[in-house]
Structure 1
């Protein structure tokens, strides 16, 4: 009888502790972050979620949306913020439209850019050299979806640099990286529309072709942008998001992990947090 009572009491303690642990995991309330489903934004947002949940005790909801919806949701207060604002060029129209309703916390990573990318064993260095080596590239620039900004810039580059014998091929991010992978495997010349940060830079040795005419624009930064009032009603979250800074190499490391077969992006984010305690501590001071 005594053993049954002790067993029942122990079970009750386990249940209470389990329930308490679950409650404490989000005891500080909920944080909502919007992001566009780009690999860079997904990696960043999941790492932020890992810190907010595992280190700070918040319950975090991350919401994948289109870029316009991401900005609108932040401006309206439907979400607390986003970590995927490409500035000063790509998202400049959104910042201008919503500037009075959001707070720009500045860059979380610098040196973001778009352009034409080749493996580092390709011996040309400039976009202007593509035409004279069109045969080695099989007359193709491997692109992504036709509505992407980098595709419009690539078309303009073909015109402005008078590139003959090269055609811009439409596709997707997946078909672009598949073509790049196959060419590198066989040590063939290939040129693709590219942007950084991107996981491909964490997997292969690549380089942007120089763009002396500035068709693709200057390097950009990726900013954190939050809703008005966050600093007042969630000051700890605001401070963390304001201090979150990392490098392209950091980001591309996580992005490369995310491309591994069977990868769990949130588990990869938690792995990064575990393996970089000093960096994480700098975000929490």
Structure 2
């Protein structure tokens, strides 16, 4: 999900529709809809592809990965950062060709008016997509809200939060109340500060509880686990799938690239590795190239 304030509904503002009409339906399509013959695609296959993205960790990583891969195949790739509303509208209208981070069913209500014009090519992430309160697995005696509350002093009576006002943090605060966790509170923080605290605690094997979501490289790197949430206060009752979505007409006109996207799969460890390559650099394309060089066998399975 997004680095910083995350999630879908908060971004889906009414004003985005006018932005989408101007930004996606006209400007982007001028870059993306010049059709040419392509020996490896359909009769109207295009060598220019517009990929929309959101500033979520896994989306940044996969978008730049595929930008580099497609450019290596001779395509021109335009990247467009958009909020969820104009992104979905652009995907439906054809101003956006593809998007690598559609969460379903979480995004079901927002996408239902557009779904007739959108193809779902693959659910590419093979791990669990979830969120909640996470602790290191070496905390073997902490598996439930009640156990966390009973041992709150070990955790300095806090769950280290992320960004105040974020959907995840608000849900965890609700979780604390619902489960009667009266000895612990959610400490407002930021995502970078939470990750720093987590790194230091795990290095020293100290107790720590954090607001977390998956996929995220830190969940894998620091060997975390979620405490249980039997009332589904934070965790979704239905596990989300992370999909590659494409404009339906574009997918039909570009069967070769659509086929490549359909073959795309990453395990939690593979995604975490890709995200780690990118997390400390502004040059995401160079990071993607380095990761590609180390994962040629996997890459070959997609083509």
Tell whether the structures are fold-level matches, with TM greater than 0.5: yes
* TM score, norm. by length of structure 1: 0.82
Instruction: State how far apart, in whole Å, the 2-side matches of 1:117 and 1:154 are.
Output: 11
Q: What is the Cα deviation at residue 84 of structure 1?
A: 0.6
Residue of structure 1 equivalent to 2:80: 63
Aligned counterparts, 1:125-144, within 5 A: 125-144=143-162
User: Cα deviations across residues 148-171 of structure 1 (Å, max 9, x unaligned)?
Assistant: 322232122112211112112223
Q: CA distance change for structure 1 residues 104 and 282 in 2, over 3 Å: closer, same or farther?
A: same
Residue of structure 2 equivalent to 1:264: 283
- 2:102 corresponds, among 70, 77, 85, to 85
Residue of structure 1 equivalent to 2:42: none
User: Cα deviations across residues 118-169 of structure 1 (Å, max 9, x unaligned)?
Assistant: 1222231223322111111112111222343222321221122111121122
Q: What is the Cα deviation at residue 46 of structure 1?
A: 1.2
Q: What is the Cα deviation at residue 280 of structure 1?
A: 1.8
Q: What is the Cα deviation at residue 116 of structure 1?
A: 0.9
The 3-state SS of whatever aligns with 1:63 is strand
Aligned counterparts, 1:45-64, within 5 A: 45-54=63-72, 56-64=73-81
Kindly indicate whether the alpha-carbon contact (under 8 Å) linking 2:220 and 2:268 is maintained by their aligned counterparts in 1: no
Any gaps of 5 or more consecutive residues in structure 2? 1-45
Instruction: State how far apart, in whole Å, the 1-side matches of 2:87 and 2:101 are.
Output: 9
Q: What is the Cα deviation at residue 263 of structure 1?
A: 6.2
Residue of structure 2 equivalent to 1:29: 47
User: Cα deviations across residues 36-78 of structure 1 (Å, max 9, x unaligned)?
Assistant: 1111111111111121111x21011222232333222212221
The 3-state SS of whatever aligns with 1:178 is helix
* TM score, norm. by length of structure 2: 0.77
Any gaps of 5 or more consecutive residues in structure 1? 1-27
Q: CA distance change for structure 1 residues 68 and 129 in 2, over 3 Å: closer, same or farther?
A: farther
The alignment status of 1:232 with 2:252, answered yes or no, reads yes
Instruction: State how far apart, in whole Å, the 1-side matches of 2:66 and 2:80 are.
Output: 13
The 3-state SS of whatever aligns with 2:162 is coil
The alignment status of 1:273 with 2:289, answered yes or no, reads no
Residue of structure 2 equivalent to 1:12: none
Residue of structure 2 equivalent to 1:117: 134
Count of residues in Structure 1 that have an aligned counterpart in Structure 2:
254
The alignment status of 1:241 with 2:241, answered yes or no, reads no
Q: What is the Cα deviation at residue 202 of structure 1?
A: 4.0
Kindly indicate whether the alpha-carbon contact (under 8 Å) linking 2:120 and 2:244 is maintained by their aligned counterparts in 1: yes
Kindly indicate whether the alpha-carbon contact (under 8 Å) linking 1:118 and 1:191 is maintained by their aligned counterparts in 2: yes
